[in-house]
Structure 1
């Protein structure tokens, strides 16, 4: 059963070593992420599932490595410490970028409240399939917490990665309301095609969360909302 969730953005710039001279610009977002992770730890989970978007879906065991070398930084992370008895079918890695950012956040927070598992969600996965995946993940332990990583639209300004799209602000506003209110139905109703056109990488992971939280009765708080670099970033805590 899902007992808590933290929603965080997944830009590599969240990692100070990657952001370099611009690291201070996302300082408030990092602080909000730390606060959201504290909510997860307080929920006393049996398992923390880290969920993020990737070109292809797949599972990652605790201890799977990741790297930010592709962003010009010699920095490695891992999804928690390698278990004493690794699973025989453990994924070879490396972690996709969204899960690597999640691993960095957990290392930064010195996570030790529970074992970990990672799930990459194909960014084009249909909403119904996201819901089914979320339901399955919520059943993977008696007390499940989720760290969900994903960004809003990348089309908020002329200099945004996806240029300016007049629909982006409304999409992000709807996503922020849903995340802040733990509104499962509103998250599930986000338009997958529109999200793809707006380059909103968080759509699929958020809809996995919606499936996991169905019937859990969680309350939500929006801890951070902004669009630096023309991309919508949100931090929320559900408990």
Structure 2
């Protein structure tokens, strides 16, 4: 079973080389993500990660990739000494590898799930990952909130975005797995909150959880959640 998990977003803006000149907006998000990752590595240097991508379900391990597709060739690897290359490594896996390197974790095994994975299947996967976790592993959960906040929204603003991400933020801060499991997949999809599936996987990990860190930021019209839970 996992004894600690961290929730972070996975926008390219976390990588400084990709966002030169946007420090006031990007630094706070990056700082929160790195702080959560440091708390995770303080407990475990081997991580299991869950992220959302249309290519899921699949698992990635011991491979390298690059952020070149996002404008700058910033190489990352999912494990120390990994040599196999994946030129199309999805964004959640790239960010998981980047965080691993920045905080000194040894490896991260990334499980990708499709954005439309039903809540019951998300919870079941969380239970399986916990049961299968190797001794000393921790869980990294990668997912973004709604991209429909305010005038900078992707596409069009949606007045429901604030309430939705407010519910997510409160659930993470309270380690309320019931509230996370109750998130509506249809509403999440309408709001562009693909992180819903990853958060509901986390909600399926058994344990009496308490939150030790939480934050919510929404630069550029996208909601970003960070949290750390301990069992």
Q: Answer yes or no: same fold by TM over 0.5.
A: yes
CA deviation after TM superposition for structure 1 residue 142, in Å: 3.7
Distance 2:148 2:64 in 1: 31
Which residue number corresponds to residue 21 of structure 1? 21
Of the candidates 111, 118, 123, which is equivalent to residue 105 of structure 2? 111
Distance 2:103 2:94 in 1: 14
Q: Over aligned residues, Cα RMSD in angstroms? A: 1.9
Which residue number corresponds to residue 54 of structure 1? 53
Distance 1:122 1:82 in 2: 29
Count, aligned residues: 228
Of the candidates 182, 185, 206, which is equivalent to residue 175 of structure 2? 182
Distance 1:194 1:91 in 2: 36
The answer as to 2:172 corresponding to 1:173 is no
Distance 2:27 2:200 in 1: 27
Which residue number corresponds to residue 66 of structure 2? 67
CA deviation after TM superposition for structure 1 residue 204, in Å: 0.6
Conserved? CA contact 1:138–1:144, under 8 Å: no
Which residue number corresponds to residue 227 of structure 1? 218
Q: Provide TM-score, normalisation by structure 1.
A: 0.88
Which residue number corresponds to residue 149 of structure 1? 142
Distance 1:96 1:144 in 2: 22
Conserved? CA contact 2:64–2:85, under 8 Å: no
Of the candidates 126, 129, 133, which is equivalent to residue 118 of structure 2? 126
Secondary structure at 2:22 match in 1: helix
Which residue number corresponds to residue 8 of structure 1? 8
Segment of structure 1 superposing worse, 119-128 or 94-103: 94-103
Q: Which runs of 5+ in 1 are unaligned?
A: none
Cα distance change, pair 161–17 in 1 and its aligned pair in 2 (3 A): same
Distance 1:158 1:205 in 2: 27
Distance 1:162 1:64 in 2: 34
State the 4+ residue runs in structure 1 displaced beyond 3 angstroms.
90-94
CA deviation after TM superposition for structure 1 residue 93, in Å: 6.7
The answer as to 2:192 corresponding to 1:199 is yes
CA deviation after TM superposition for structure 1 residue 158, in Å: 2.5
CA deviation after TM superposition for structure 1 residue 146, in Å: 0.8
Question: Which string of whole-angstrom CA distances, capped at 9 and with x for unpartnered residues, describes residues 134-165 of structure 1?
Answer: 11111122443111111110001132113210
Q: Provide TM-score, normalisation by structure 2.
A: 0.91
The answer as to 2:99 corresponding to 1:95 is no
Question: Which string of whole-angstrom CA distances, capped at 9 and with x for unpartnered residues, describes residues 33-86 of structure 1?
Answer: 2221222223246x410111101211011x212221111111221112246xx9
Cα distance change, pair 101–163 in 1 and its aligned pair in 2 (3 A): same
